[in-house]
Amino acid sequence: MHLAYPAVLAALLFSVGLYGVLARRNAILVLMSVELMLNAVNLNLVAFDVWLRDTLHAGQALTLFTIAIAAAEIGIGLAIVLMVYRNRGTSDVDRLRDTSETDDETPTADGTPSADEKAEATA
Amino acid sequence: MTTTTLAVLVPLLPFLGSAAGLLLGRTAPGFVRPLAVLPTLAAAVLAVLVAARQGGGKAVDAATQLTPTGSVPIDLALHIDGFAAVVAVLVGVVATCVQIYSTGYLRHDPRYPSYAALVSLFTAAMLLVVYSGDLMVLLVGWEVMGICSYFLVGHYWETPEARSASLKAFLVTKLGDVPFLIGLFALAADAGTFRITGVLGAVTSGALDHPTLVALLLLAGVAGKSAQFPLHTWLPDAMAGPTPVSALIHAATMVAAGIYFVARLLPVFAASAAALTVLAVMAAVTMVGSALAALAQDDIKRVLAYSTIGQLGYMAGALAVADRGAAVFHLLSHGAFKALLFLAAGAVIHAAGTNSLTAMSRMSGLTQRIPDAYWTMTVGLLALAAIPPFAGFFSKEAVLVAAEHTATGDHTAAPAGAGWIVLVAGLLTALLTAAYAMRLWLLAFRGRGAEAPDHGRQPIQMTTVLWVLAVPSLGFGLTAAYLDDWFDGNALTPTLTTAVLGTGLAVVGAAVTYAVRSTLLARTAPPPAAPAGATPVPAAGPAAAPTVAHPDAEAGQVEAEALDLPHPAADPADPGRALLGPLHRPAADGFHLDAVYRAAFVRPVLAAASLVRFLDREVVDTYVRGAGDSAKGLGWLVRRAQTGNVQTYLSALLAGSVVLAVVAVVLANAAAGA
């Protein structure tokens, strides 16, 4: 099998994932898109491993590692999204903008954190 | 002990006393009075001993070099000739009197410890000037006196008058000190040494290349220190200090330093006829102008201050005719009677509760309240007016005789023109001096009106000192014949012509003043038995003179309060007003010299200050603020990117990576193609 097929497939998968990460609003869908990108990379690793005829099969071994770490990562990510949803009633990425720079130049006089920051601190 | 050791101790003792006084003033208040009086007294005794050992003979010289300077050496040197010996005695005695008087005068003053220490330091600095044989060491004492006068004149710094007077005294004397310093350097550059003996030797051998320049530069400093025209304006204002300080500044230290300095370096000045002529003109303007101004003053201490300026003019005149014996002789007798006059004036101000002569002239019975001050002040005024046989007569005659000899060509050390200037101005001033002395006496002690309040007797320290100082004021002149040997050997005894002329003019001046006062009093006598209910004429009637709020307080506090009193409307029976006529108003203002200074120096300095302020605030600060503001603006721009939306960040990251990748590819292709 020619290398072009898996490579093109991987590129398409990566592009779909990238679009998802940049364009989807739901945090869970963003995480799923990240998985798509990871799997595109995995596909590349396996394809090139075969194509280069690597006797140690480093590409396949690395893919196993990636899959394991991706599983852990998605677990933690989903847990975070769950907590955010419970706290705020939404998991919209667009609305999680607490770190944005406001035009308010002066911090609050007594240095107490604002209501939003408090909510985040207790979360 | 050798004479040198004794002489070193003379300035050292008051200095140590002042250091100890400053250190122990708060922790051990009991030691303050002994620490103030005893070192000064010991210095006075030692100065007498030194004078006795020196005996007017060969000068005592001693020097030690602390460290090589690389160029002109600076030595810790003593040079004690007859002048130094007797002037040191005067300084020691007057300073001791002032310290003793102050223990009574400023008994309860909270700042007495620092005051006494500063007076001791002042004395030590003056004694250093007197004994020093090295011009740089002399300059140290000279400048220490300047700063001490600043502190002491500003003793009552709660009052704005004292604050501005102390600043003025400091700045005006510094105005003269700058050319003085340059003159010292020029002198040392020519002579190759700072030692007085070396400088005098260089003058004799003609090694001095620019005698006129050096002498004129030095004269500027002398005019500032000795309050000669046009730098005299600080002295009348320095009256804002306590009376003992005025006595010290006027009689023994500070103003005497300038005259003494010229006397010491007289050959340098005598090497230039131009410098002597300038000195003569300066002295003449100073004498006549200050005598006119003294006649118009209302504050008793200002009258005395202007009289000091005038008497310093006499001394400067004697120096202008190159007779330093007469100058130092007048310095000595003036030191005695002027200290007496000021200390007595302090007692008078205390008793009257005011420093205004007009207010005093509306009181009667002041003489019964303070008989000691009355009699001693009379002696002092007679000496000031140069009535024989008081001290002032002999010393002033010595000046006039020296001027006459120069004018007629008997002495050729100075130009005859200088002699004539000094002689004419001196005789005119003798007339005016007697007039204002008489006016002061009449207004202060022959007032009519309400009985002066009774505050009890003056402290014993104050009255004793007055009588102690009255003795030299009365009899010092009789030593004229003996003093010749201590000085240059010129005869100091009066001659018939000048004695008759001078005394005659003085008597005329006093008599005219008395007559004018009597006439004016008779004319403006209050109408007898004014009808009840009629409004009294405030100017003519014995209106209550304004006096201080706490007349029973100690003298120093009374004086401080008197500084703030408004001066009452002029007394119509004031002979000064009648005698001066249209000159009265300018004379009362010191001939508007302060206004001239304001226009010539104060305004330009203030304008320069505002320019500097503008440059600092508007130009320099603009750069600093610009640096801060541009960083802030950049920060604001960068902050715009922080939207908080993670996807925006990622998009920017992606766009950046794509751009970088494209650039890398294009560059690689271009490199491969080349």
Q: pLDDT tens digits for B338-384?
A: 888 888 888 888 887 777 777 777 777 777 778 888 888 888 888 88
Provide CB contacts within 8 A for B117, sequence distance 6+.
B17, B18, B19, B21, B22, B25, B35, B36
Chain B CB within 8 Å of residue A104 CB: no
Closest CA to B379 of B471, B252, B513: B471
- The DSSP code sequence of B550-612 is -TTS-HHHHHHHHHHSPPPSPPTT-HHHHHHGGGHHHHHTTTTHHHHHIIIIIHHHHHHHHHH
Q: What is the pLDDT of residues B392-427, one digit of tens each?
A: 888 888 888 888 888 887 777 778 888 888 888 888
What span, in angstroms and rounded, lies between the C-alpha atoms of B79 and B205? 20
Pairing outcome for strands B450-451 and B363-364: parallel
Chain A CB within 8 Å of residue B635 CB: no
Pairing outcome for strands B76-80 and B450-451: unpaired
The DSSP symbol for A55 reads T
Chain A CB within 8 Å of residue B643 CB: yes
Cβ distance B21 to B35 under 8 Å? yes
Give me the residues paired with residue B62 across strands: B78
Q: Tokens 């979360």: give the residue.
A: A123
Find chain A residues with C-beta within 8 A of B640's C-beta: 101
Give me the residues paired with residue B60 across strands: B80
Interface test with A, best of B640, B645, B654, B657 (most A CBs within 10 A): B645
Q: C-alpha B98: how far from its chain's center?
A: 16
Is A96 inside any structural domain? no
Asked if residue B320 has pLDDT above 50, the reply is: yes
Closest residue in A to B649 (Cα) is A22
Is A99 inside any structural domain? no
Closest CA to B649 of A118, A42, A30: A30
Cβ distance B303 to B294 under 8 Å? yes
With a threshold of 0.95, does the pTM exceed it?
no
What span, in angstroms and rounded, lies between the C-alpha atoms of A121 and B13? 76
How close does chain A come to B595, measured CA to CA in Å? 53
Contact B639 A101 (CB under 8 A): yes
Q: Tokens 């000048």: give the residue.
A: B498
B635, B641, B645, B650: CA torsion to nearest 10: -120
The CATH number of residue A69's host domain is 1.10.287.3510
Is A110 inside any structural domain? no
Is A123 inside any structural domain? no
Q: What is the pLDDT of residues B32-43, one digit of tens each?
A: 888 888 888 888
Element (H, E) at B62: strand B60-64
The token pair at B652 is 């920017």
Q: Tokens 């950049």: give the residue.
A: B634
What span, in angstroms and rounded, lies between the C-alpha atoms of B511 and B248? 31
Identity of the residue numbered B271: A
Contact A96 B650 (CB under 8 A): no
Is A18 inside any structural domain? yes
Closest CA to B115 of B2, B186, B25: B25
Q: What is the pLDDT of residues B559-614, one digit of tens each?
A: 666 666 666 666 666 777 777 777 777 777 777 888 888 888 889 999 999 999 99
- Which of the pair, B606 or B480, is modelled with greater confidence? B606
Interface test with A, best of B636, B637, B638, B646 (most A CBs within 10 A): B646
Q: Report the mean per-residue pLDDT for chain B.
A: 82
Closest CA to B346 of B22, B651, B106, B47: B106
Closest CA to A37 of A68, A11, A8: A11
What was the pLDDT predicted at B176?
87
- Which of the pair, B192 or A49, is modelled with greater confidence? A49
Number of domains chain A is built from = 1
- The DSSP code sequence of B270-299 is HT-HHHHHHHHHHHHHHHHHHHHHHHH--B
Element (H, E) at B81: none
Most distant CA pair in chain B: distance in Å? 129
Contact B645 A101 (CB under 8 A): no
Cβ distance B44 to B92 under 8 Å? yes
CA atoms within 13 A on the CB side of B203: 21
B12-22: average pLDDT: 87
What span, in angstroms and rounded, lies between the C-alpha atoms of B129 and B124? 9
Q: Tokens 């998802």: give the residue.
A: A20
User: Would the CA dihedral through B635, B638, B641, B644 be positive or negative?
Assistant: negative
Picking from B640, B645, B650, the nearest residue to A97 by CB comes out as B645
Contact A96 B646 (CB under 8 A): yes
What span, in angstroms and rounded, lies between the C-alpha atoms of B528 and B534? 13
Find chain A residues with C-beta within 8 A of B650's C-beta: 21-22
CA distances to A101, B209, B301, B307 from B445, rounded to whole Å, are 86, 56, 15, 19
Cβ distance B471 to B375 under 8 Å? no
Identity of the residue numbered A38: L
What was the pLDDT predicted at B539?
39
**B28: helix, strand or coil:** coil
Contact A98 B647 (CB under 8 A): no
Identity of the residue numbered B474: L
B373, B378, B381, B386: CA torsion to nearest 10: -150
The DSSP symbol for B251 reads I
- Which of the pair, B321 or B67, is modelled with greater confidence? B321
What was the pLDDT predicted at A111?
46
Chain A CB within 8 Å of residue B108 CB: no
Find chain B residues with C-beta within 8 A of A98's C-beta: 644
Beta strands in B311-422 (DSSP E): 363-364
Contact B642 A101 (CB under 8 A): yes
Cβ distance B47 to B127 under 8 Å? yes
Chain B CB within 8 Å of residue A102 CB: no
Is A114 inside any structural domain? no
Is A35 inside any structural domain? yes
What span, in angstroms and rounded, lies between the C-alpha atoms of B345 and B546? 18
The DSSP symbol for B530 reads P
Is A19 inside any structural domain? yes
Q: State percent of chain B over pLDDT 90.
A: 8
Between A and B, how many residue pairs show a Cβ–Cβ distance under 8 A?
30
**A53: helix, strand or coil:** coil
Asked if residue B1 has pLDDT above 60, the reply is: yes
Most confident of B212-221, B384-393, B508-517, B581-590: B212-221
How close does chain B come to A28, measured CA to CA in Å? 14
How close does chain B come to A51, measured CA to CA in Å? 25
How close does chain A come to B161, measured CA to CA in Å? 47
What was the pLDDT predicted at B137?
87
Containing domain of residue A28, as a range? 4-90
The DSSP symbol for B19 reads H
Interface test with B, best of A96, A97, A102 (most B CBs within 10 A): A97
How close does chain A come to B650, measured CA to CA in Å? 7
Cβ distance A70 to A33 under 8 Å? no
Cβ distance B562 to B353 under 8 Å? yes
Q: What is the pLDDT of residues B138-175, one digit of tens each?
A: 898 889 988 888 888 888 888 888 888 888 888 888 88
Chain A CB within 8 Å of residue B1 CB: no
CB atoms within 10 A of CB B563: 21
What's the complex ipTM?
0.75
Asked if residue B214 has pLDDT above 90, the reply is: no
What span, in angstroms and rounded, lies between the C-alpha atoms of B539 and B537? 6
Picking from A22, A98, A101, the nearest residue to B650 by CB comes out as A22
Q: What is the pLDDT of residues B529-561, one digit of tens each?
A: 444 443 433 333 344 455 665 555 666 666 666
Contact B647 A23 (CB under 8 A): yes
Cis preceding-peptide flag for B230 (omega within 30 of 0): yes
B261-289: average pLDDT: 87
Angle (deg, nearest 10), helices B300-320 and B273-296: 160
Least confident of B56-65, B186-195, B481-490, B662-671: B481-490
Closest residue in B to A99 (Cα) is B644
Q: What is the pLDDT of residues B113-145, one digit of tens each?
A: 888 888 899 999 999 999 888 888 889 888 998
Q: What is the pLDDT of residues B238-262, one digit of tens each?
A: 888 888 888 888 877 888 888 899 8
Chain B CB within 8 Å of residue A18 CB: yes
pLDDT grade for B630, boundaries at 50, 70 and 90: very high
Cβ distance A15 to A5 under 8 Å? no
